[in-house]
Every structure is written in structure tokens, then in C-alpha cells.
């Protein structure tokens, strides 16, 4: 049973060495690690994309200018518009003796959810009946959004058109790393469940859960919000939801890269959302010092400082520490993996921490921090023992899954509560090559797999964390060390792919202002594998092993496909922007000489199209100066046409 998360949070008053250390680690989290050699900086983000992401934020300061109270902007907003930027709704789920779990209230009341979504939220808002969670339990889940027009038994993933994506989320997705983008196909649910004995009730127990439904993957933030809202709700009732919703409706929009002041029920949350741009993401502690509250009222509030997407890696993964590098390989390669725990708070925490291990890569397979037998995808994901397991990551608590998923190749069993720092290191995760039935007959905590890692185990992290446990280093610092270790490992893994991809870009001199944009060369896996042998991650990490074999597996996964698609999109946008820049700087007057009228009209249409594209596609790294120059070129071309034709083109 989990209790509200209040133990390991960074208070503003803390300015000790651990907090200073965390500010350094945050630079790592935002993709600014540089290798100690200094020759080939470990820089994951494309320099051009990083720069243009910064300009995106700068150029739209009128939209996202206020990090604190921007209530002055709310006069032009619809009711609950700013609330929808953060959460979709609150759901109150209770237990009825005749019906079972049911939604008692949705706030705001105008919010819609499909019947499939309501059913999923009802079942996932409570721990499984066998979990025996007494008192207060916090956990989170992720469900596939159902269509409003599909049958409740249909597992369709069609997006519910009655719940359009907020415009602020589209903007948010342009500025944040891929791993933290919203997905219109999924809802996140952050639950606070209370179960206490009550002799006045027929069942003898009070059972109720409060759930925040949202599209934003802000695990740390929403868990903190629930730890504040839910106790007040259980004490004072629905009036607490109304007050909370009105306060959230005054918040600024979720903007990556700046510190946001978010007051709620007497607590001021000072939150930073990770962004692409290092220039827009200064050190967290520095930002807080430079961003005092703008109202005297805020100065009286209790403050909590956090990064919205953070996960406490250490408390979740300490029992698995000797096997984390192997698990990193499994996640990288998209292997089927299930986490079996005794409560939803544990399994959801562990699953979320595992997904974060491969950051800044996006884990592109489906994952469910808490999964039950009532999920619409239950049959799809469990299947028959003869069927190959799907490539998903599940967190479960019902003992039924021990039998239903016994054919899965990789199983993590967590026993009891998430252990303290010292006790967690004493757990030995076990491996077994025995048959599935005998493997699952054991109830000992451990990692059950026959997978043979490609890489040799790096003992440096084990020693570092063990030393921290002996010296009682705070959990948040232990987590920061783990996060930095695996971030460096993942970035080292990506560097050879980045270098090879850079070779696919055409030379800038091949970009002509009057010809089609050149394309990238074809990606050839064998060329990548050949380069790994000579300049692979073994040169920067010190980790030995079969790196080529690991790359060979990775290149066949959705994780690689997603990375490749993102890189191709960014590269093509860059090439289009370079071609527009070349066109804006070209000698259009010389080009016009000797051109037929039809060619000149075609150029007018091309210039108009490019200007429209620069306005419609904000991800294009085109500067305002280039837009002005393109407009000037268009005016010059129009002036070269006869007046009657010029009038027709201007009117069209």
C-alpha cells in the first residue's frame, strides 16, 4: 500500500549540496551531456533543431509569456479552457453493492467520456480485489482512448472526436522531447484510492477513488497534485473539486522550458517541463531564484519545486539494480515484459521508471503502468500460450496473471512494499531457464528470463549506488545518479546513428533556389553496423560486449522506426528551410530575364505556397527575416507581369 508522496520532494528552502547536485544532473536530463574528452560532444539533439525549438518559444512569447499568474489573459478564454490545457476532468469512482464500481461524479459536468473510457476508469480506479490495500493508495494508469460511437466491448483505438486535442497541447508537442509528448490515442489516469473500515456501511468498508484524467504524462506533478487535492476532497466533498478546478483554470499554459508557478489549495507548485531547447531551460534552481512569485499572496503559500515528468527511479528500481542494464537492453529492443507486484502503486511506479531508462529515446510500444483483467485489451495482450506475446510492457497485481502470462519470456516479480534504499540492495533478482510452469511456481521476487545480454555488466553504477546507500544519500540524489548513468548510456548508443544519419544529408551547395529540394540518401543498416565496430559506444562508455548484435536487434524495433521518422522529418524540414532561405537571397531579377510568362506565373504560385507553408507549419525552422525576403521576392516577380495579369493573381 502506498501513501501520498510527500517524503522525497525538493522544497524551495533546501539549498544543500544535494540540491546543487540535482541542478547539475538536470542539465544531463535535458540532453546537454558533453563527453570528458571534448572532441565529440555527447549531444543527442540536432543542433539545428535545438536552435529552432528555441526560436519557436521566443517567437511566440505573446502566447506563452507568463510563468505565473496570467489571469489577465483569461478574459478572452472560454470557461474551463485553461483547465482543459492541464486536465480533462476529475472522476469520482465509488463501489455500489449491486452495480460494483461506478462513476459517481465527473467534474466539470460538461466533460464527455466514451462508455469504454468510463468502464476502464471504473475498474482501474480501484486496486484489484486481491491487493488488500487499506488506507490511502496512489497510483496511475494509461488507457487507450475509446471512440464515443463504438460498442463498449469493442477494443477500437479510434480517437473520440468529441474530445479534440487542446491547441495548447499541439504547441506543447512541438517544444518538448518526443518521450514526453501527448498522444491523442491515450488517456492518463492518476488515482487516489481510500479504503477504511466503516461499520455504518453495509459492506463494512468505505471505498472511493478520486481520479485525474489527462493527456499529459506529468507523473510527478499529478501525483503531487493528488496528494494535496484528494485528502481535502475526502474531508470536504465535491466543493474541493470545484475550488481546485477554478484554481487550475487560472494557471498558465503548459510550456516546456520555463518555470511555471501553479498555486493550488494553499501550495505553490513551481514546475518545469523538459524542453528541446537548452537555451530555454536554465538550471532549475537558478530559474526558481530568478522567478519569484508575482503576488504577495503566493509568498504565503507552501512551495514545492519539481520537474513535471520526473520519476523516483531509485525507490522503484533499487531491488532490480544488478539487472538494470539487461532491462535497458530489453526495453531498447521492445521485448515483451510484465511487472508483477502486490499493489498498483508499486507496479505503476516500476513500469514508469523502466520506460524512463531509455530516455531521451521514446519508448514507442504500448505500456500500461497498471493493467487488469477488465481492460479492453486483456484478450489481445494475454492471448493463448501458443501465441507469441505482444511487444508491450504491463504492470499487474492480480495473481491470475501469473498463470495467464506464464508463457511470457521476461517477467519481473516485485514482492511486498517498494523497499528502502538499504534493504532494496539486498534483494537478489533471480534468473531461471526452467519451463514456464516451474518458473512461475516460485513466488520469490526476481527477474525471470532466459535472455542473454549483449553487453557485459557495468559495475560502476552498482558501486556508486551501494556507496550512497551506506552513506544514506537521499533517494532523490540516488535517482539523479541512475538517471544520468542511463542517459549517458542511451546517448552513447544513439551517437553512431546520429553520425551516420548526418552523412545522409545532401551538401548545402546542392540546394538550388529554383529546383526541387534534394532528398536524403537511403539508410542502409549494414553500413551502420559496419561503423559500430570501429567507432561504437564502446569508445565513450567503457562498456564492452556485442554492441553490433544489440544494434542489429534495435534496428528492427518500433523504437528505431520512431527515431528514424523523427530524424527524417526534422532533416526534410531543415532542407526545405534552407531552400527557402536560398530562394529569399537569390537574384530574382536576373532569373526573370528571358523567362516566359507561364514560368513567371509558376514562380508566383511557388512563392505564395512557400509563404503559406511557413505560416501553417510552425515546426519549419524559417526565420522571420526569411519570410520578409520571400515576400519581397514575390512582390518583385509580380511587378514583372502585365498589370491585368498582376491584378488577377492578386485577386486570386
CA of 43: how far to CAs of 150, 160, 500, 541, in Å?
Answer: 45, 38, 14, 14
Task: Give the residue-averaged pLDDT of 226-253.
Answer: 94
- Asked if 369 and 308 count as a contact pair (C-beta separation under 8 A), the reply is no
Residues 582 and 562: their CA atoms lie apart, in Å, by: 30
Sort residue 37 into left (φ over 0), alpha (ψ -120 to 50) or beta.
Answer: alpha
> Are the beta carbons of 495 and 537 closer than 8 angstroms?
yes
Average pLDDT over residues 57-65: 40
Q: Give the pLDDT of residue 39.
A: 34
Query: Of all residues in the chain, what percent carry a pLDDT higher than 90?
Result: 40
Residue pLDDT, tens place only, 100-149: 889 999 999 898 899 999 999 999 999 986 556 788 899 999 999 886 54
Higher-confidence residue of 568 and 11: namely 568
**Distance between CA atoms of residues 501 and 469, nearest Å:** 41
Q: What's the whole-number average pLDDT of the chain?
A: 79
Q: Is 346's pLDDT higher than 60?
A: yes
DSSP labels for 527-579? HHHHHHHHHSTHHHH---B-HHHHHHHHTTSHHHHHHHHHHHHHHHHHHHHHH
pLDDT of residue 158: 47
- Contact assessment for residue 247 and residue 263, using Cβ atoms and an 8 Å cutoff: yes
Asked if 146 contacts 117 with a C-beta cutoff of 8 angstroms, the reply is yes
Residue-level pLDDT at 76: 52
pLDDT at 269: 94
Higher pLDDT, 69 or 508: 508
How buried is 457 (Cβ within 10 angstroms: 0-12 exposed, 13-18 middle, 19+ buried)?
A: middle
User: How is residue 140 written as a grid cell?
Assistant: 496511475
| Mean pLDDT value across residues 427-447 | 51
Query: Helix, strand, or coil here: 25?
Result: helix
pLDDT at 83 over 70: yes
CA dihedral 291, 294, 299, 305 (to 10 degrees): -30
Q: What is the pLDDT of residue 443?
A: 64
Which of residues 529 and 1 earns the better pLDDT score? 529
407 and 385 Cβ atoms separated by less than 8 Å: yes
At residue 295, the pLDDT reads: 46
Quick: pLDDT tens for 500-556.
999 999 988 888 888 888 889 999 999 999 988 888 888 778 888 899 999 999 999
pLDDT at 337 over 50: yes
Q: Which of residues 191 and 647 earns the better pLDDT score?
A: 191
pLDDT band at 166 (very low <50, low <70, confident <90, very high): confident
Q: What is d(CA 251, CA 244) in angstroms, rounded to the nearest whole number? A: 11
The model's pLDDT over 12-44, given as tens digits with 9 standing for 90+, comes to 334 343 434 344 334 333 333 333 333 333 333
Q: Backbone phi, then psi, for 441, in 5-degree steps?
A: -70, -20
Helical pair 525-535 and 547-554, crossing angle rounded to 10 deg = 150
Pick 617 or 391 by higher pLDDT: 391
Other C-beta atoms lying within 10 Å of the C-beta of residue 470: 11
pTM, two decimals, is: 0.80
Amino acid at each position: 500500500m502506498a501513501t501520498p508522496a510527500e517524503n522525497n520532494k525538493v522544497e524551495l528552502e533546501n539549498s544543500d549540496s544535494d540540491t546543487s547536485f540535482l541542478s547539475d544532473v538536470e542539465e544531463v536530463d535535458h540532453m546537454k551531456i558533453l563527453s570528458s574528452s571534448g572532441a565529440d560532444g555527447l549531444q543527442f539533439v540536432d543542433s539545428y533543431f535545438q536552435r529552432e525549438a528555441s526560436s519557436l518559444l521566443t517567437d511566440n512569447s505573446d502566447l506563452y509569456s507568463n510563468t505565473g499568474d496570467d489571469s489577465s489573459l483569461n478574459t478572452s478564454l472560454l470557461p474551463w479552457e485553461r483547465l482543459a490545457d492541464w486536465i480533462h476532468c476529475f472522476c469520482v469512482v465509488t463501489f455500489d453493492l449491486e452495480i460494483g464500481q461506478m462513476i459517481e461524479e465527473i467534474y466539470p459536468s460538461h466533460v464527455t467520456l466514451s462508455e469504454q473510457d468510463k468502464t476502464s476508469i471504473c475498474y482501474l480506479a480501484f486496486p484489484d480485489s486481491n491487493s488488500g490495500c487499506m488506507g490511502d493508495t496512489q497510483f496511475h494508469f494509461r488507457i487507450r482512448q475509446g471512440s464515443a460511437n463504438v460498442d463498449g466491448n469493442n477494443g477500437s483505438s479510434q480517437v473520440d472526436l468529441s474530445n479534440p486535442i487542446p491547441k495548447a497541447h499541439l504547441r506543447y508537442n512541438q517544444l518538448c522531447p518526443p518521450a514526453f509528448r501527448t498522444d491523442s490515442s491515450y488517456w492518463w489516469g492518476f488515482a487516489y484510492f481510500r479504503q477504511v473500515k466503516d461499520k455504518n456501511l453495509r459492506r463494512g468498508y468505505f471505498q472511493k477513488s478520486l481520479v485525474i484524467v489527462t493527456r499529459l504524462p506529468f507523473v510527478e506533478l499529478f501525483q503531487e497534485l493528488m496528494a494535496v487535492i484528494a485528502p481535502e476532497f475526502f474531508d470536504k466533498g465535491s466543493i474541493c473539486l470545484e475550488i481546485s478546478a477554478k484554481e487550475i483554470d487560472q494557471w498558465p499554459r503548459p510550456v516546456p522550458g520555463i518555470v511555471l508557478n501553479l498555486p493550488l489549495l494553499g501550495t505553490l507548485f513551481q514546475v518545469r517541463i523538459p524542453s528541446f531547447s537548452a537555451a530555454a531551460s536554465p538550471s532549475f534552481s537558478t530559474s526558481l531564484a530568478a522567478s519569484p512569485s508575482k503576488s504577495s499572496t503566493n509568498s504565503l503559500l507552501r512551495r514545492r519545486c519539481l520537474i513535471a515528468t520526473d520519476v523516483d527511479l531509485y525507490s522503484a528500481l533499487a531491488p532490480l539494480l544488478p539487472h538494470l542494464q539487461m532491462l535497458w537492453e530489453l526495453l531498447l529492443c521492445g521485448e515483451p515484459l510484465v511487472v508483477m507486484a502486490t499493489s498498483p502503486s508499486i507496479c505503476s511506479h516500476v513500469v514508469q521508471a523502466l520506460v524512463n531508462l531509455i530516455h531521451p529515446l521514446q519508448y514507442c510500444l504500448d505500456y500500461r503502468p497498471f493493467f487488469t483483467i477488465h481492460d479492453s485489451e486483456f484478450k489481445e495482450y494475454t492471448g493463448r500460450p501458443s501465441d507469441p506475446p505482444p511487444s508491450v510492457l504491463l504492470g499487474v497485481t492480480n495473481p491470475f496473471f501469473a498463470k495467464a502470462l506464464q508463457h511470457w519470456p521476461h517477467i519481473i516479480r516485485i514482492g511486498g512494499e517498494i523497499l528502502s534504499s538499504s534493504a532494496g540492495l539486498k534483494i537478489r533478482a533471480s534468473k531461471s531457464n526452467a519451463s514456464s510452469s516451474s518458473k512461475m511456481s516460485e513466488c520469490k521476487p526476481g527477474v525471470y528470463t532466459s535472455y542473454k545480454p549483449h553487453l557485459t555488466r557495468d559495475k560502476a553504477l552498482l558501486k556508486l549506488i551501494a556507496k550512497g546507500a551506506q552513506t544514506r544519500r537521499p533517494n532523490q540524489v540516488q535517482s539523479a545518479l541512475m538517471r544520468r548513468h542511463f542517459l549517458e548510456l542511451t546517448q552513447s548508443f544513439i551517437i553512431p546513428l546520429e553520425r551516420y544519419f548526418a552523412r545522409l544529408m545532401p551538401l548545402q551547395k546542392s540546394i538550388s533556389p529554383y529546383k526541387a529540394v534534394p532528398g536524403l540518401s537511403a539508410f542502409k543498416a549494414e553500413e551502420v553496423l559496419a561503423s559500430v565496430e570501429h567507432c561504437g559506444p564502446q569508445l565513450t562508455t567503457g562498456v564492452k560486449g556485442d554492441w553490433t548484435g544489440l544494434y542489429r536487434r534495435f534496428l528492427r524495433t518500433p523504437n528505431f522506426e520512431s527515431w528514424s521518422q523523427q530524424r527524417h522529418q526534422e532533416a526534410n524540414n531543415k532542407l526545405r528551410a534552407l531552400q527557402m532561405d536560398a530562394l529569399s537571397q537569390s537574384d530574382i531579377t536576373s532569373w526573370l530575364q528571358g523567362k516566359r510568362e507561364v514560368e513567371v506565373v509558376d514562380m508566383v504560385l511557388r512563392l505564395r505556397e512557400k509563404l503559406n507553408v511557413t505560416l501553417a507549419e510552425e515546426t519549419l525552422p524559417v526565420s522571420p527575416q526569411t519570410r520578409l525576403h520571400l515576400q519581397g521576392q514575390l512582390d518583385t516577380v509580380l511587378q514583372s507581369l502585365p498589370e491585368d495579369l498582376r491584378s488577377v493573381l492578386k485577386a486570386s
